[in-house]
Amino acid sequence: MMQLWDVEVKSRKIEIVLILAVLLASLPLILNYGLLILSSFSTEMVTNLDPTSFRPTIDNWILLFEGRLSVTGGVREDVVRYTINTAIVALGVAGVVVLVSVMAGYAMSRMNFKGRSLIMQLILLLHAFPGVALIIAVYLIFRATLPSDIELARIYSFAYVIVARAALEIPMSIWLIKGFFDRVPWEVEWAAIIDGASRLRVWREVMLPMVKPGIAAIAIFAFLAGWEDLIYVRTFLFDRTLATYIESNINVEFAYMPLLAAAGTLYLLPTILFFILTQRLLLETSTGGIKG
Amino acid sequence: MVSVRLEKVTKKFGKVVAVNNVDLEIEEGEFMALLGPSGSGKSTLLYLIAGIYKPTSGKIFFDDHDVTNLPPRERNVGLVFQNYALYPHMKVYDNIAFPLKIKKVPKEEIRRKVFEVAKLLRIEHLLDRYPGQLSGGQQQRVAIARALVKEPQVLLLDEPLSNLDALLRVSVRSELKRLQKNLGITAIYVTHDQAEAMALADRIAIINEGVIQQVDLPEVVYNRPKNMFVGGFIGNPPMNFVEAGVEYNETVKLIVGEDSVWLPQEYIEILRKLKLQKVVLGFRPEDVLVLKDESQVEPGSSVIRGEIFTVEPMGREVLLTIMIGETMVKVYAPPTQYYSMGDKVFLQINPAKLRLFDPDTTIALEYLVKT
Ligand SMILES: Nc1ncnc2c1ncn2[C@@H]1O[C@H](COP(=O)(O)OP(=O)(O)OP(=O)(O)O)[C@@H](O)[C@H]1O
Ligand SMILES: [Mg+2]
């Protein structure tokens, strides 16, 4: 009994030490984001770790959604519109990535065809290319295919940026989701086939639910990639997103920093939210029923 | 209900020949046990019948229909997988209901059938759980329920009871047999456990390295194994084998070391025909009388001398390991005698029960003359 207690105390100590270490390591990050969020609710930036500079207000947020860049007036900006644009791009990227990766990943995992491993290696190679390196070629295709009608071109630019940005995410996502499919035992799929399900139905009703954590993971990564993207959005999208909006204002002389802090917080929000909300799903390993 | 017939079925995986030129017929409503060591091709054979694998060559028939190229869903077979293969994201109820849902059976009927089969397998109280929340034995019963609920023409079971405790196993297996007979389903039952095969099956098929060794009634497989593999695989402990020379005089007898063994008339005739100089003598552990004293040997009977190597009391009897020359054999003896290591003993083999095998082909002699 004593010994057990002893062991428990020991492990708790270790746990506390570990938590402290993790906290210490992430302190600069937490501080950074903390100050940013704090500043967005203050009339002055809270940057020098000086609590007296914090004067609470929600004006920044009101101004932000009124679309103004300074307290005194400034250029009107449609921040709500930008937020919606950002969401369109992010959701679009997530949608395309999930659709393509889930199908390709299943094929890579389950179907036996010539050149499969070659394709897998090429995909990995593709992933190694940074998006910036490809952007000139991608831009040339964009110029060549852009419709002349301006309204159409605007819509086209959305579609184009979504597909182009998704293309950067897809290689890694295919690898990731293939790993999830690989872990589903063949027997489960066979069981469904013997039960009379068609290949498509097996895929939809048996395979997909079993790789749900994987789908969630690639969806989140793709969503965030789309939400945060700056280079592709700035190059191709006619409209603005939160990223390009903030970027274009950082160096502007009349920029009112606490207001930008509010914009930055808004920009960060999905990242934080997603990780908090989906942490469990991401960590969840597919439940039992598969013993070998 | 249908009969299942395999004609010269071979399945290769690259260089591995998992199933080799198998001819096998399972009659309508028959309960066939498929016995064999690990890796002998049992699961592969079931998957071939279910249609998951296509044979590399050969044909499979259900009655007179050639189903070789029919996809699984058109074969109406139920398969209980070795590793259960339940759908982990569905509750037990939905697992069992799945095949019916695919068939678009009305909801009410699905409900009725699921409850019926769940009751049969004593898993009604588990219907609301996920497979991950069940024990291995419970998962196995869910898998059996899922295979049964669609009332298949052919039921294939891949070691379905391996995870049940001894008590439950005996009750579920007799339940299973009763069910199979009532529904008249043709069933193939893979098992490692030869006692289970003996208890359940109408006939037993023994497979080794992809080749069917013998297909016969349980008592025939046990008493007249076709070759040394079958004799050495069935029985616990299995059949003993001792090499012996043959002496042809006015009569024919075996020579084991310095001892002679008289043979029954049947074998004398067979040996005269085959004229073998050497044979392998096979006998089961329970077909031997262990005598401690030469004076106990009845006149006219033959004995083989040996020395006790180990003694294992088993309660009802004692299992003795005895060295005959360099060969180790296991025999059962009544616990009324006291045995100890190093004792010299005399083994009197029941002549009606001894078997002889050809050392070259390992085939039992009586099967050699038949063909
Ligand atoms: N998909 C496959 N690819 C390659 N080889 C395979 C495959 N499936 C089975 N084999 C091989 O075929 C042989 C028979 O395998 P099988 O699973 O049928 O054996 P088994 O009798 O069911 O064994 P166990 O009792 O261990 O389940 C083995 O040598 C195995 O390695
Ligand atoms: Mg097997």
- pLDDT given at position A66: 78
Residue A69 lies in a domain: no
pTM, full prediction:
0.80
Name the burial class of residue B289, with classes exposed (0-12), middle (13-18) and buried (19+) by CB atoms within 10 angstroms of its CB: middle
Cβ contacts of A268 within 8 Å, gap of 6 or more: A33, A36
Inter-chain CB proximity A195 and B150 less than 8 Å = yes
For chain A, say whether B155 makes contact (Cβ under 8 Å). no
For chain B, say whether A112 makes contact (Cβ under 8 Å). no
pLDDT of B266 strictly over 80: yes
Q: In angstroms, rounded to a whole number, what is the distance separating the alpha carbons of residues B254 and B44?
A: 42
pLDDT of B231 strictly over 60: yes
Residue A108 lies in a domain: yes
Q: Which ligand is nearest to the CA of B191?
A: 1
Give B367 or B174, the one with higher predicted confidence: B367
CA of B10 to the centre of ligand 1 (A): 13
- pLDDT given at position B297: 81
- pLDDT given at position A284: 54
- pLDDT given at position A67: 72
Q: In angstroms, rounded to a whole number, what is the distance separating the alpha carbons of residues B363 and B223?
A: 14
Q: Which of A48-57, A137-146, B198-207 has the lowest mean pLDDT?
A: A48-57
Residue A228 lies in a domain: yes
Is the ipTM reported for this complex over the cut 0.90?
no
Residues B116-122: what's their mean pLDDT? 89
- pLDDT given at position B53: 95
Q: Based on the domain organization, do A173 and A101 belong to the same domain?
A: yes
Inter-chain CB proximity A194 and B50 less than 8 Å = yes
- pLDDT given at position A41: 87
Q: Based on the domain organization, do A50 and A161 belong to the same domain?
A: no
- pLDDT given at position A290: 35
Q: Based on the domain organization, do A114 and A196 belong to the same domain?
A: yes
Q: What is the pLDDT of residues B131-143, one digit of tens each?
A: 999 988 889 899 9
Q: Based on the domain organization, do A85 and A226 belong to the same domain?
A: yes
Are the CB atoms for B275 and B364 separated by under 8 Å? no
What average pLDDT is seen over chain B? Answer: 92
Tokens 């050639």 sit at which residue?
B66
Chain A residues within 8 A of B77 when measuring between CB atoms: 194
For A30-103, strand residue ranges (E) read 68-70, 73-76
Chain B residues within 8 A of A292 when measuring between CB atoms: 83
- List all residues of chain A from 261 to 290 with a beta carbon under 8 Å from chain B: 286-290
Angle at A234 between CA A228 and CA A235, to 5 degrees: 125
Residues A40-51: what's their mean pLDDT? 78
For residue B220, give the H/E element and its range.
helix B218-223
Residues A225-243: what's their mean pLDDT? 90
- pLDDT given at position A38: 85
Q: In angstroms, rounded to a whole number, what is the distance separating the alpha carbons of residues B335 and A290?
A: 46
Q: In angstroms, rounded to a whole number, what is the distance separating the alpha carbons of residues A258 and A55?
A: 11
Residue A117 lies in a domain: yes
Q: What is the pLDDT of residues A163-215, one digit of tens each?
A: 999 999 999 999 999 999 999 999 999 999 999 999 889 999 999 999 988 99
Q: Which of A39-48, B5-14, B311-320, B342-351 has the lowest mean pLDDT?
A: A39-48
Q: Based on the domain organization, do A101 and A140 belong to the same domain?
A: yes
How far does B147 lie from chain A, in Å, by closest CA? 8
Domain of residue A143: give its range. Answer: 79-252+277-286
- pLDDT given at position A288: 34
Are the CB atoms for A275 and B119 separated by under 8 Å? no
Chain B residues within 8 A of A188 when measuring between CB atoms: 85-88
How far does A276 lie from chain B, in Å, by closest CA? 23
Cβ contacts of A281 within 8 Å, gap of 6 or more: A212, A213, A216
Give A45 or B242, the one with higher predicted confidence: B242
Instruction: Work out the percent of chain B whose per-residue pLDDT is above 90.
Output: 74
Inter-chain CB proximity A291 and B83 less than 8 Å = yes
Q: What is the pLDDT of residues B84-107, one digit of tens each?
A: 899 999 999 999 999 999 999 999
Nearest of B155, B163, B226, B228 to residue B193 by alpha carbon: B163
Closest residue on chain A to B73 (Cα): A196
Instruction: Work out the percent of chain A whose per-residue pLDDT is above 70.
Output: 87
pLDDT of B298 strictly over 60: yes
Q: Which of A249-263, B58-72, B238-252 has the lowest mean pLDDT?
A: A249-263
Model confidence band, residue A129 (pLDDT cutoffs 50, 70, 90): confident
Q: Based on the domain organization, do A10 and A109 belong to the same domain?
A: no
Inter-chain CB proximity B73 and A210 less than 8 Å = no
- The residue whose CA is least distant from atom 31 of ligand 1 is B39
How far does B140 lie from chain A, in Å, by closest CA? 10
- pLDDT given at position A286: 39
Residue A49 lies in a domain: yes
Q: Based on the domain organization, do A35 and A153 belong to the same domain?
A: no
Residues B224-233: what's their mean pLDDT? 95
pLDDT of B357 strictly over 90: yes
Residue A257 lies in a domain: no
Q: Who lines ligand 1 at CB under 6 A? A: B 13, 16, 18, 36, 38-44, 82
Instruction: Work out the percent of chain B whose per-residue pLDDT is above 70.
Output: 100
Q: What is the pLDDT of residues A65-116, one digit of tens each?
A: 777 665 555 567 788 889 999 999 999 999 999 999 999 999 999 888 888 8
- pLDDT given at position B104: 93
For residue B51, give the H/E element and its range.
none
Inter-chain CB proximity B146 and A210 less than 8 Å = no
Q: In angstroms, rounded to a whole number, what is the distance separating the alpha carbons of residues A157 and A161?
A: 6
Give B116-184 as a DSSP string.
Answer: HHHHHTT-GGGTTS-GGGS-HHHHHHHHHHHHHHT--SEEEEESTTTTS-HHHHHHHHHHHHHHHHHHT
Q: Based on the domain organization, do A16 and A153 belong to the same domain?
A: no
Q: Which of B10, B15, B40 to mutate to test the pocket of ligand 1 (most atoms within 8 A of CB)?
A: B40
Q: Based on the domain organization, do A83 and A52 belong to the same domain?
A: no
- The residue whose CA is least distant from atom 2 of ligand 1 is B13
Q: What is the pLDDT of residues B32-88, one digit of tens each?
A: 999 999 999 999 999 999 999 999 999 999 999 999 999 999 999 999 998 889 999
What does DSSP assign to residue B238? T
Nearest of B239, B238, B237, B203 to residue B219 by alpha carbon: B203
pLDDT of A9 strictly over 80: no
Which token pair is B50? Answer: 């279910």
Residue A281 lies in a domain: yes
Model confidence band, residue B26 (pLDDT cutoffs 50, 70, 90): very high
Model confidence band, residue B204 (pLDDT cutoffs 50, 70, 90): very high
Atom of ligand 1 nearest to the CA of B45: 18
Closest residue on chain B to A291 (Cα): B83
Q: Based on the domain organization, do A90 and A196 belong to the same domain?
A: yes
pLDDT of B190 strictly over 70: yes
- pLDDT given at position B183: 84
Q: Based on the domain organization, do A53 and A88 belong to the same domain?
A: no
Number of domains in chain A: 2
- Domain at A107, CATH number: 1.10.3720.10
Q: Based on the domain organization, do A53 and A93 belong to the same domain?
A: no
Nearest of A160, A162, A211 to residue A183 by alpha carbon: A211
Q: Which ligand is nearest to the CA of B34?
A: 1
- pLDDT given at position B54: 95
Residue A180 lies in a domain: yes
- pLDDT given at position A254: 64
